[in-house]
Amino acid sequence: MYTYICPKCGREFQSEHDQHYQCKSCGYWQLIVLYQEDNQVINKEAYDTTKRNFASNKKFELSCNECGKQAEFYCVDVLGLFCECGGFFREEMNSKEAIGKLKEYRKKGKLNQQQMADKLGVSKNYYASVEKGTRKANTKIIRFIRDNLSDPYQTIKTVV
């Protein structure tokens, strides 16, 4: 018997088969499957983490490394939750580290916040609040960091 949990909506279900590709509830297709093999429980940590996060409604906003689409998941411990476009959902880049790199980039290039905002195609006020950490980086900024600055994804843990 296989037990499944959807990292996106938190729904759990069981099946005789190990070929469940789609959540019956939300349609997301990369499910975490819990099963036993040679006296070892496979995916227990990812499963339990997802279940725990669902119970406490703890969500993570992840963005696709290809198309930039953002989505919420109950689990970040599974590296590479797939996006429809074939990319992976990863932790959003509005971490302090990523924004720090953006700021560093701006200063190195001797740009003021207005010039940097123009470069990114966002308003100066919005850009300034992202640097301050009071607002989240939008897709334009995330893409810029992703494409131009070094990889801020290194902190992601691989469980499965």
Distance CA 93, CA 110 (A): 23
- DSSP letter, residue 96: H
Q: Which residues bind Zn ion (CB under 5 A)?
A: 6, 8-9, 11, 23, 25-26, 28, 64, 66-67, 69, 83, 85, 87
Of 8 and 106, CB closest to Zn ion: 8
Print the SS3 string covering 109-144. Answer: CCCCHHHHHHHHCCCHHHHHHHHHCCCCCCHHHHHH
- In whole angstroms, how close is the CB of 153 to Zn ion at the nearest point? 15
Q: How far is the CB of 72 from Zn ion (least distance, A)?
A: 11
Q: Which is nearer to Zn ion, 69 or 103 (CB)?
A: 69
Of 66 and 118, the one with the shorter C-beta distance to Zn ion is 66
Shorter beta-carbon distance to Zn ion: residue 55 or 85: 85
Strand, helix or coil for residue 46? helix
Nearest distance from C-beta of residue 96 to Zn ion, angstroms? 25
15 Rama sector, left if φ>0, alpha if ψ -120 to 50, beta otherwise: beta
CB of 93 to Zn ion, least distance (A): 15
